[in-house]
Amino acid sequence: MTRQAVRTSGAPAAIGPYSQGIAVDGLVFCSGQIGLDPASGELVDGGVEAQADRALRNLAAVLDAAGASMADVVKTTLFLADIGDFGAVNEVYGHHFPDPPPARSTFAVGALPKGARVEVEAIARRAAS
């Protein structure tokens, strides 16, 4: 088994000792993405909807760098700083994945890095070449 780090400037650089993603044996494991603008490193303005959209676009950039897409995602995990944001995040989330959407778990958490309101991580399976 050879693990390959996935790196892209299309998503924020890791803010700790982890990779944006790891590809191994046709699978891509994406680290959690929050609504950081990749250029500024700051949370985007516009509330939880804007943060969710940016986090999902960051996730798409990591997947693209690994040779995968949102259509290849089989499992996501959403972390919400406020479970009251579930509906708003769901609305944004639904626009980023084709049918059928991936399996998903959602958790309310005490806090997220940099004061983010939403974080999303994913596992994808790259199509055989």
Label residue 41 left, alpha or beta by phi (over 0 means left) and psi (-120 to 50 means alpha).
left
Closest CA to 41 of 20, 14, 78: 14
pLDDT in tens, 3-12: 999 999 999 9
Any idea where the domains of the chain sit in the sequence?
A: 4-125
pTM over 0.75: yes
Residue 103's H or E segment, with its range, is strand 103-108
* Joined tokens for residue 117: 């309101």
pLDDT of 127: 80
Q: What is the pLDDT of residue 48?
A: 98
Distance of CA 87 to CAs 49, 66, 92, Å?
10, 30, 9
Give the Cβ contact number of residue 99 at 10 Å.
6
Which of 1-5, 26-30, 85-89, 95-99 bottoms out in mean pLDDT, i.e. has the lowest? 1-5
Q: How many CB atoms lie within 10 A of CB 42?
A: 11
Q: Which CATH number fits domain 4-125: 3.40.30.10, 3.30.1330.40, 3.40.1350.10, 3.40.50.970?
A: 3.30.1330.40
